[in-house]
A and B are shown apart, each in its own frame.
Chain A
């Protein structure tokens, strides 16, 4: 595994339009961006390179956000990686589970404007 790039962000989002929008927003804000369209792909990307931050959707095909967190095992294997759960699915049970698996924040996608998204990511990275 290569050394983690502090500015690299992995976007895990199955909705193509949103995934692309987040790529554009974060790239224009100066971050290195990797993308995955489901949890399985995210696990593969993470095996190649440990990102500084993961923007993680919850409801995705194949491996969903919760399953990804369980497999990736943040607390044990990747304590430095920040995870922001970024979902439009607000089932309290899953939100609680995500927090218990080590997620840093949960944000409802619908409320974040592009500027706010950038701010949230910056805040999370600076919080180190």
Chain B
């Protein structure tokens, strides 16, 4: 019962492992539980997170850049506006000067402007001046007045064609060489437009870009004028018509663009920010670094309009992103990307390695379980087979060995045969057990220091009665000194028992058996020679196969399972040794065994 239960259990384990699952189920099971699936999922998840992180940090970086841009732009716009305001204040103050006195002379104007230290504090303006509205009738008086103030060559420019109303420049400070008195602000369309708008709106107005008046030849004279209207304070100026009627003149300032805007981009920002300013389609100014900056890779350009005193300037900013955010901030998206990809490789790799280690451990555990079940089955099978045979042995042995008193010789002979038969049965069980263990690869040698000499003598002693019964003569050539080998004595004994037993069995009565032992430094050679029936050359290949009994003239008379030589060969080979056979049919057989001395 126990045996059957064990066999069923082992079959169950093996079956479950090898064939237990139907192919489809197995495939599905394999797919979801394969080593690759969890790492692949982890890899995909990390990659997805990385992509999200990358997009998010890029947005964050863009936001930071936008904020930094806006800050710079706002600061720049504020700077432009505040500079223009400060000039406008001077001009408005000039209007107040005219309104507050009956007469403002050339000298008064000079003193007023000198008070501001303009060359140093207001370098953007080339000149602060006053253009007086004059009808053609008043022109002779004005000319005389100007001459009286020391402007000997005062004349309206351009002089022709004749106009009804003029707005000639009468004062201008500082009076640089080549200053043009008498230039009519209304004679040139761009200036005229701004002048009339200032008059009609009672506001400070800036012209579109103009080429500044100068007698000296200077390279870049692009600039603009700012006008502030001066009305007769005795007249109302609520309506446009009233303002047109009350206008007396214009206080103005002339600006050279490249000087006015020179410090708009602070020197410490020059590497990372540049700008160009246009009024409509006309370029007004470009910072010195602008042209080179916009050619660089990765430059951000932003264009914003700026309303200033009746004009709309278009400012295009060029930013180098290194000036807007720090290098770590700039590196963050790439850092997230690389770290994510690194993790997406490393984490699944580690998981895969752990899974692989675990699964091979499980596989080994299963194999160990199966092997253990095999061992148990074999041991149990032999136990179950041995036990009844052992009972027979004990009871027969008691009678045979005189435990119950003497037996008559005929009975003794029969008992001996029965006892020998039982002994053979036990041997067969043992051989089959070892055979099964060899086939299952389950023999583990229990090596211990063994004297081969003693072992061989024991075997000869055991089989002495068989030798005597067969009338054989045994000759030995064995060295007298101990022959120590590190072997499994039990297993080796089984091998040599078989060889000697075969020699005895397959030799005609009165034969000769010789056991010879020779040694070299590394090996021991044992030969067992008989004068028996011999083995045909063509039978040699079958000799060491299990259950192959060779047909010869004696095989009918002697018993055997055909296991002995197979077992002997394997046991000797397990010890790292070898076995050879030489034979001549009808003359005898020699089995030569070689065993290594230094076997582990």
Contacts and interface: CB of A to CB of B under 8 A. Distances in A.
A113 interface: yes
A88 B386 contact: yes
Given A59-B383, A88-B382, A88-B383, A113 B376 contact: no
Nearest to B394: A21
Contacts, number: 63
Contacts of B393: 110, 113
B401 A109 contact: no
Contacts of A109: 386-387, 390
A110 B391 contact: no
| Chain A CB within 10 Å, residue with most, of B394, B395, B398 | B394
Interface string B550-571: 0000000000000000000000
Q: Determine the main DSSP class of A at the interface with B.
A: helix
Contacts of B390: 18, 88, 109-110
B397 A113 contact: yes
A111 B497 CA distance: 15
B415 to A, nearest CB: 12
- How many chain A residues sit at the interface, stated as a range, is 20 to 34
A115 B401 contact: yes
Contacts of A87: 383
Contacts of B444: 92
A68 interface: no
A56 B255 CA distance: 123
B403 A25 contact: yes
Interface in B363-403: 375-376, 379-380, 382-383, 386-391, 393-395, 397-398, 401, 403
Contacts of B380: 89
A91 interface: yes
A110 B403 contact: no
B446 interface: yes
B401 A90 contact: no
B50 to A, nearest CB: 53
B143 to A, nearest CB: 135
Interface string A2-25: 000000000000010110011011
Contacts of A111: 426
A18 B430 CA distance: 19
Contact of B391 (A17, A28, A59, A90): A17
Interface string B392-422: 0111011001011000000000000000000
Interface in A100-128: 108-111, 113-115, 117
The 3 closest A-B pairs by CB, nearest first: A21-B394, A88-B386, A114-B397
Interface of A: 15, 17-18, 21-22, 24-25, 28, 59, 87-92, 108-111, 113-115, 117
Given A15-B391, A18-B394, A90-B382, 18 more contacts: A15-B387, A24-B403, A28-B403, A87-B383, A88-B386, A88-B387, A91-B375, A108-B386, A109-B386, A110-B389, A111-B426, A113-B397, A113-B401, A114-B398, A114-B401, A114-B403, A115-B401, A117-B394
18 contacts: A15-B387, A18-B390, A18-B394, A21-B395, A22-B394, A24-B398, A25-B394, A87-B383, A88-B382, A88-B386, A88-B390, A89-B383, A91-B375, A91-B376, A109-B386, A110-B389, A110-B429, A117-B394
